[in-house]
Chain A
Amino acid sequence: MLTGMFSLIGRLQLFAEPLLLWQIAPESITTDFTPMMEIYDKAFKTGDYQYAAAESLVLAVVTGILAFVFYRVTNRNMS
């Protein structure tokens, strides 16, 4: 399920859309709405590059694991 896999990976990297929408809805879209926004906030507002770097690596690993699991599950269904 290629489409699902691409979408899943794309969604975990969700960043620009909520960040822009934050301008008109700051009370419902928080600064840690998505993991990428949280990382951005940590790195460039708090200024804690080191923690943000660690967070982004954790996010990459989480995304990798989820993509792997997703691939495994959908491929089992196929055969």
Chain B
Amino acid sequence: MSTLTRPPKVATDSPVRRSSPRRAGSRGARKGLLFALPFLLGFLATYVVPIGYAFSQSLREKKSSGLGFGPTRVVFTGFSNFASILGDGDFWSSTLRTLLFSAAQITVMLGLALLLALLLDGVAARTVRFFRAALLIPYVVPAVVSTVMWLFLYSPTGSPLLDLAHRAGTDVTFFGGLNTYLSLGNLLTWQGIGFNMILISASLQALPRELYEAARLDGAREWRIAWSVKIPTSPGSWC
């Protein structure tokens, strides 16, 4: 550590240093590793090791000895778990259900987020700041908390929404059939829309303003600019 306290030498007047760039490189690498160590340890302990453990567990199965009354033992069975998952209808149907649901929900959510981002892109900076913060609140609220909040709104007993609907003379339910997916989709869209809007609006702001001016000179209205300039040219984050 004494090297750190010494005043740094100028590279040009120390030919010895210049002649050994490899050693300097490996020292730099060691320093880099030292800086990365806190992350690396956490990553190994909470990511790599558990996955490795899960993999080693997945190659085993619980077998009860005797006629099923004896103590259970965990025995190595190779890939038999994976083989039975391939034929597991429950697992694949839940995966497929989630995928189909996600496809619909993500399309709606990103469509709305894009619409909001385009609207925000068109208004004054101070308004933008307010709406951006307001729309980001659902994202900042922990998912479980907001779910519990919606749970009360959806609840068959004591939901204020159901109460209102009842007073208006209609009977709605939030669950059963397609309604389950609509309720869940509404909740997830509410949670995710702000964050996605921020990403999209950041990519919209990265666009050069000259493009808009050029479009305006060509006589394009705001929504035409949005449709033909902003959406096709905004890079990366959304298109």
Contact = CB atoms under 8 A, between A and B. Distances in A.
Interface of A: 1-4, 7-8, 10-12, 14, 16-18, 20-21, 23-25, 27-29, 32-35, 37-38, 48-51, 53-60, 62, 66, 77-78
Given A11-B105, A12-B98, A20 B110 contact: no
Interface string B48-92: 000100110110111000000000001000000110110010110
B177 interface: yes
Interface residues of B, number: 56
Given A3-B200, A21-B147, A50-B58, A28 B176 contact: yes
B125 interface: no
B58 A21 contact: no
Given A34-B98, A53-B58, A24 B155 contact: yes
Interface stretch (B36-44, B128-136, B184-192, B220-228): B184-192
A28 B177 contact: yes
Contact of A7 (B91, B110, B175, B177): B110
A49 B210 CA distance: 59
Contact of B184 (A7, A21, A57, A62): A21
A23 B174 CA distance: 13
B140 interface: no
Interface string B211-239: 00000000000000000000000001111
Contact of A14 (B60, B98, B177): B98
Given A11-B102, A28-B176, A35-B91, A50 B60 contact: yes
B186 to A, nearest CB: 11
A44 B62 CA distance: 14
B175 A28 contact: yes
Contact of B143 (A16, A53, A56): A16
24 contacts: A1-B238, A2-B238, A3-B113, A4-B238, A7-B109, A8-B102, A10-B192, A11-B102, A11-B188, A12-B99, A12-B102, A16-B143, A17-B184, A21-B175, A21-B183, A25-B154, A32-B91, A38-B90, A38-B91, A50-B60, A50-B61, A50-B81, A54-B57, A57-B55
